[in-house]
Amino acid sequence: MIWNQIYRLFRFLASLELAVVLILLLAAALSVGTVYESKYSAQVASVIVYRSLWMQILLWLFVTNLAAAAFSRLPWRRHHTGFLVTHLGIIILLVGAFLTQRFGVDGSMSLASGEKGRHVFIEEDRLNLYRATAGESYELLLTQKLQLHPLREFKDPVTFVGRSSKGEEIPVTVLNYYPKARRVVDAAPSKSRTGVPALKFRMSGSRGSAEEWVFLQNDVGGVRDVGPARLRFQKARPVEQKVDRPTLYLWTSEAGLELFSAHPTRGFRRHGKVKVGKPVPIEWMDFQFVVDQYIPRSEPTLRYFPLDSRAEGLPQVAEVEIRGERAWVELGSAAQLAMEDGIYYIQYSKRQVDVGFELALKDFRIDYYEGSSRPKEYSSLVEAGGVEHVISMNEPLKHNGFTFYQASYQSDEEGKPVASVFSVNLDPGRWVKYLGSFMLCMGIMLMFWFKPRYSGTSRFLKRGDSPS
């Protein structure tokens, strides 16, 4: 009885009907993945479709169907050669794809000129927790992979447990998660002497209004872009210089706040002292500038609101709680919580992979189309293993099993390139996929070779008769 059931299961797994259903389901899944990729991004399509559990189940069922179909032809004959080679080629191709997905690396590395790096960031969210105590170095308490949906918010909080070297358990709870969020910056008077100057400004005119906080956190100052204009909040007195866009300068002098403006065609002008709440008209644009609030020592505070948007550049954020204290942290940044037993640093970032050597960016070169600011081509002069190489869009670097492609570059606020971005790939299944593809092609050719020889068609053709 049990052998009959096993045989029936085997016949089902080897059936053509199952193969047709699986092929249709895989075709539908790939279509859905293409839609997600074009509508959102490749990372969204990868999480929802290509690397999903149900996609893995479909592919392994397909492999099982191919293997069962091959074994159902036992005892094998010579005319089965093409059929068997084709099925084996598909199986090897899928095994190679599995090796690539499971053990491969596909990420990016960004380097500024003169900078060295050895870590690649891949599309896998990680939550890391460190603690710093007096007289001791940082201690890693938790590193946790986060299974976050790229389009949906959190519904239920998730708790992980970090552990110190002394066996102490620290619960870490992810309370909220927003794939796309609107960042709202506020400021409050600082309770300590470590606060930074902050002001809340407003620009209003016939075409609308904008209201934002800007902070003076370092010697360079704070910068905000508002439509075609730019606002700079700085410690140094502004000097006359050429600008490529209308710019307002707020200077924190000993006498208070002073306003300057610069225009590409109307030159540089000093407007004088600025009083809180009093509008200052700007002649070269149809708006008024107002400082609504000024705090000499402030503490920035952040709030986030979820957005249903496909716009690029919006932060991905998570709210984390440790022992009753909460903090928002953006992807690619860190937050800190001060407690009695030390300072906790919460890092929310992509997973890093060590490539095993240092890659140094010696120089980044970019050529533009004549008479425009549109890049024609760009390349990077790098050093790896003591040898210099040039990586361009058509000339990747292969070193230590990794392949480095020139992907893009990062620019500053004035459009000048400040960093080179490389796409980094490690594919342990590449040659397995090549072998599978070769066997698939050979199997198809063998099927066309053997089928007419064993179907009787060749004998009819030799006699000059028709098969009918």
Q: What is the tens place of the pLDDT at every residue in 192-243?
A: 777 888 888 888 766 667 788 888 877 667 888 777 788 888 888 888 888 8
The domain tally of the chain equals 3
Domain co-membership, 205 together with 259? yes
| CA–CA distance, 242 with 231 (Å, rounded to integer) | 15
Residues pairing with 191 in the sheet = none
Question: Does residue 381 sit in the same domain as residue 288?
Answer: no
User: Per the domain annotation, does 70 fall within a domain?
Assistant: yes
Q: How confident is the model at residue 467 (pLDDT cuts 50, 70, 90)?
A: very low
pLDDT at residue 466 in the model = 46
189 with 277, same domain? yes
Contact between 436 and 94 (Cβ < 8 Å): yes
Is residue 189 domain-shared with residue 296, that is, in the same domain?
yes
Q: Residues 141, 129: contact at Cβ < 8 Å?
A: yes
The residue with tokens 């370092």 is 218
Cα 281-283-287 angle, rounded to 5 deg = 50
Integer Cα distance of 2 and 204 in angstroms: 81
Ranking 110-114, 370-374, 438-442 by mean pLDDT, the lowest is: 370-374
- Say if residue 382 is in the same domain as residue 275: no
Instruction: For residue 125, report the phi and psi dihedrals to the nearest 5 degrees.
Output: -70, 135
Please determine, for residue 428, whether its predicted confidence score (pLDDT) is greater than 90.
Answer: yes
- Cα–Cα distances in angstroms (integers) from residue 21 to residues 24, 27, 31, 171, 377, in the given order: 5, 10, 15, 46, 47
Domain match, 224 and 289 both = yes
258: in domain: yes
CB 331 within 8 A of CB 346: no
Arithmetic mean of pLDDT, 357-363: 93
Is pLDDT of 303 > 70? yes
- Rounded to whole angstroms, the Cα distance separating 29 from 369 reads 41
Query: In terms of pLDDT, which residue wins out, 126 or 226?
Result: 126
Do residue 420 and residue 403 come from a single domain? yes
| Residue 99 falls inside a structural domain | yes
Q: Which residue has the higher pLDDT, 450 or 99?
A: 99
- Evaluate whether residue 206 is within a structural domain: yes
Quickly count helices (H) and strands (E) in the chain: 7, 24
74 with 10, same domain: the answer is yes
Q: What whole-number distance in Å separates Cα of residue 90 and Cα of residue 93?
A: 5
**Nearest 5 degrees, angle CA 127-CA 42-CA 402?**
75
Peptide bond into 75 cis (omega under 30): yes
312 or 418: whose pLDDT is higher?
A: 418
Q: How many CA atoms lie within 13 A of 362 on its CB side?
A: 10
Q: Do 200 and 249 fall into the same domain? A: yes
242 found inside a domain: yes
Contact 462, 115 (CB under 8 A): no
Tell whether 217 and 283 lie within a shared domain. Answer: yes
Residues contacting residue 173 through CB under 8 Å, at least 6 positions apart? 157, 158, 159, 160, 320, 321, 322
Domain membership flag for residue 189: yes
Contact yes or no for 48/61 (Cβ under 8 A): no
Residue with tokens 């969210």: 125
Measured CA to CA, the distance from residue 438 to residue 432 in angstroms comes to 10
Tell me what pLDDT residue 301 has. Answer: 82
The average pLDDT across 168-195 equals: 87
* pLDDT tier, 450 (very low <50, low <70, confident <90, very high otherwise): low
Helix (H) or strand (E) holding 237: none
Q: Verify that 110 and 100 share a domain, yes or no.
A: no
* Per-residue pLDDT at 231: 84
Are 237 and 252 in contact, with CB atoms under 8 Å apart? Answer: no
Report the candidate in 158, 123, 151, 119 with the shortest Cα–Cα distance to residue 51.
123
Query: What is the extent of the structural domain holding 198?
Result: 183-302
For residue 181, pLDDT beyond 50? yes
Residue 270 located in a structural domain: yes
- Residue 286 phi/psi, 5-degree rounding, is -85, 65
Q: Give the pLDDT of residue 42.
A: 84
pLDDT in tens, 61-97: 999 999 999 999 889 888 888 899 999 999 999 999 9
Residue 323 lies in a domain: no
Which DSSP letter does residue 227 get? T
Give mean pLDDT, residues 28-51. Answer: 90
**pLDDT per residue as tens digits for the range 137-161:** 788 999 999 888 888 887 789 999 9
Computed over every residue of the chain, the mean pLDDT equals: 86
CA torsion, ordered 370, 375, 377, 380, to nearest 10 deg: 120
Q: How many residues does the chain have?
A: 468
78 and 110 co-located in one domain: no
Last residue of a domain, one of 302, 328, 363: 302
| Confidence check: pLDDT of 330 > 50 | yes
Segment among 108-112, 343-347, 397-401, 451-455 with least mean pLDDT: 451-455
Task: Determine the pLDDT at residue 224.
Answer: 81
Last residue of a domain, one of 302, 319, 340: 302
Give me the CATH number covering residue 110: 2.60.98
